[in-house]
Amino acid sequence: MSSITIDTSASRKVRELLQFLLESGKIDAALTMRKIPENNSYDLGLITDAANLDEAVPIIPVMTVNAGQVLSSISTSGKKIAAVLKPCELRAFVELVKREQGSFENLLTISHTCGGVFSLDLVVAEKIEELLPKYEKIISKGEVPINTRDTCRACEHFIPMNADITVSVAGECESGKGCVMYLNTDKAEEFTEGFESERGELKFDPSALQKMLDTRLAEKEKLFASMTASGPGLDRLLDTFGKCVGCHGCNSVCPICYCLLCDFESANFDYNLPYFEEHLSRRGALRLPPDTIFFHLGRLTHMSFSCVGCGMCSDVCPVGIPVAAVFKKTGEKTAALFDYVPGRDVEESIPVMVYKEEELSDLG
């Protein structure tokens, strides 16, 4: 497999590639982050006319929506799409494909080594361009920018798994090699054929990112330790989720929660008078809306093993519950039961769909 040397900024090179792919008719649409000219902010755009690519900023540490979630609804259209995804977005999409909510067939996936994304508060409050130089400097040293999402700082999967094209952004640009676009699959070779660029035979070397990995693992330890600070048991549960207002925002931005009718929004959770009477007779008072903590525990058991730690849920929480950190911590344990890594391999079944006869013999 070959590589493409990037002589300009990584983001610009990817934009040029998208331009080439659209103009040559190799793809029908490009999914990429884009600058909103009117208000200096960023969003995710689906672009079919190459003229509209001028605003595209394929590689930017901003996630307004998990692109894997968006991709699931368009990937089966039959149109050829090139999608620029952050590693966790790609992993989320893999999880969705396993659940038959999308397809790789007409998709070219472009991903990059990721330094983490800014929290949405920051994206709204500050000018991102002004933050970028410092951000790039920090990640090039293998350090972790403090203004990124807590789960980004603690994320060890910042090297894309299964991407057709990997763009090295974090780490390598400074190590002398310069930013490089690695073509990982035959599909990538085929799509980039005819793209004017300097080709090479470079191999992706994760060792350049060892320092970043070590820093992140240490950050993860710290994050997880901070969550047990308030002691075990019910009190901790109330401490963590007690502020929940029951908006279900975390559920709606979650790329894994794909169910069209979530159990928690179904008629099972229409509360009627007998429900209130029964609970009040026992407890003498009832918190409203009911079942907010139940909702989080339910989601944890339903999908935590597939959590990719993208951090969307924490970022949209109106009352600041560290949803993503709880899911990441719990999810790592539930996934480890089955030696599962979400998004690792599209051929790997989700743990609740398969079983082994000889396992978990200490139960039952």
Q: Give contact residues for another protein (rule: CB under 8 A).
A: 228, 231-234, 236-238, 240, 242, 263, 282-287, 293-294, 297-298, 300-302, 304-305, 326, 329-330, 333-334, 337-338, 351-352, 355-357, 359-360, 363-364
Nearer to another protein, 189 or 291 (CB): 291
Smallest distance, Å, CB 293 to another protein?
5
Nearer to another protein, 271 or 294 (CB): 294
Nearer to another protein, 109 or 306 (CB): 306
Encoded tokens for 201: 């035979």
Nearer to another protein, 166 or 304 (CB): 304
Smallest distance, Å, CB 328 to another protein?
11
d(CA 228, CA 231): 6
Phi, psi dihedrals of residue 113, rounded to the nearest 5°: -65, 140
Treating both helix axes as pointing N-terminal to C-terminal, what angle do 87-98 and 67-74 enclose, rounded to 10 degrees?
40
Smallest distance, Å, CB 307 to another protein?
12
Nearer to another protein, 146 or 337 (CB): 337
3-state secondary structure of 204: coil
Nearer to another protein, 124 or 273 (CB): 273
Nearer to another protein, 36 or 297 (CB): 297
Smallest distance, Å, CB 98 to another protein?
16
d(CA 327, CA 325): 5
List the beta bridge partners of residue 109: 83
Give the chain's largest Cα–Cα span. 75
CB–CB of 116/61 below 8 Å?
Answer: yes
Smallest distance, Å, CB 228 to another protein?
7
How far CA 2 is from CA of 46, 48, 66, 221, in Å, comes to: 28, 27, 29, 37
Instruction: Give the Cβ contact number of residue 300 at 10 Å.
Output: 17
Q: Which amino acid is at 78?
A: G
3-state secondary structure of 206: helix
d(CA 179, CA 170): 9
Smallest distance, Å, CB 66 to another protein?
22
Phi, psi dihedrals of residue 298, rounded to the nearest 5°: -60, -45
Nearer to another protein, 124 or 354 (CB): 354
Smallest distance, Å, CB 260 to another protein?
17
Nearer to another protein, 214 or 359 (CB): 359
Smallest distance, Å, CB 354 to another protein?
8
Q: Which amino acid is at 237?
A: L
Residue 145, preceding peptide bond in cis (omega within 30° of 0): no
First to last CA, the chain: 50
Task: Print burial letters for 24-57: b (CB count within 10 Å at least 16), e (below 16).
Answer: eebbebbbbbbbeeeeeebebbebeebeebebbb
Smallest distance, Å, CB 151 to another protein?
16
